[in-house]
Amino acid sequence: MARRFRGSDTFKVDAKGRVSIPAPFRRVIEVSDPDWTEGLRPNIVIVYGPESQDWLEVFSMAAIHEMDQQIALMQRGSPDRLRVEEMMYGQSIEAQIDDDGRLTIPQKLREKIGLKGEAFFISAGDYFRIWNPETYAAKAARRSARLADQYPEDFDPRSLLPPLPPKG
């Protein structure tokens, strides 16, 4: 089973758009890149998505390879496949983590999500998101308010997980 990204943190973004990747995230990126060995720079894919998306999604190479296989299973030329291809291939860039554990976020992507002095990282299993910290805080507060209306105070979100298939 592939390792997963876990946790969240905020890091400074320098004038050139360089930001440190959380160390635990770097370990997942390295082991998930089949081309990476000690001394090489690990690869990732940044999906910036449509104009309305105000965060960046950063995928490990293992996650990208899995999605490539899933896309290949979709009906060629179907509206659903075209939509997924546009986002995953047309609205994304390949990047590398430098020798100091930093990612350089291109200017157009920093502008797209309003990234200035700091970047907020939050994991999502086989990928993580990069947000402007204020944007994330505002969206998280709205989401929490909606969920508070939908679920009781002592609700355990793990109850939403489907049961695993029987072993054996």
Give the mean pLDDT of 142-159: 81
Q: How many domains does the chain have?
A: 1
Q: Give a yes or no: residue 165 inside a domain.
A: no
Give the mean pLDDT of 26-39: 92
Q: Give a yes or no: residue 3 inside a domain.
A: no
Query: Cα(100)–Cα(21) distance, rounded to whole angstroms?
Result: 9
Q: Any idea what the CATH number is for the domain that residue 68 is in?
A: 3.40.1550.20
Q: Give a yes or no: residue 61 inside a domain.
A: yes
User: Is the pLDDT score of 143 beyond 90?
Assistant: no
pLDDT computed for residue 75 by the predictor: 97
Query: Cα(29)–Cα(48) distance, rounded to whole angstroms?
Result: 18
Mean model confidence pLDDT for the chain:
93
Task: Using a pLDDT cut of 90, give the percent of the chain over it.
Answer: 80
* Residue pLDDT, tens place only, 36-80: 988 899 999 999 999 999 999 999 999 999 999 999 999 999 999
Q: Give a yes or no: residue 166 inside a domain.
A: no
Q: Give a yes or no: residue 78 inside a domain.
A: yes
Q: Give a yes or no: residue 167 inside a domain.
A: no
**CB-based contact 121:25 (threshold 8 Å):** yes
The dihedrals phi and psi of 12, each to the nearest 5 degrees, come to -70, 145
Range of the domain at 13: 8-151
**CB-based contact 104:114 (threshold 8 Å):** no
> Could you count the other beta carbons within 10 Å of the beta carbon of residue 106?
13
Q: Give a yes or no: residue 68 inside a domain.
A: yes
User: Is the pLDDT score of 1 beyond 50?
Assistant: no
Q: Give a yes or no: residue 110 inside a domain.
A: yes
Question: Among 1-5, 98-102, 127-131, 136-140, whose mean pLDDT is lowest?
Answer: 1-5
The dihedrals phi and psi of 132, each to the nearest 5 degrees, come to -70, 125
Q: Specify the pTM.
A: 0.89
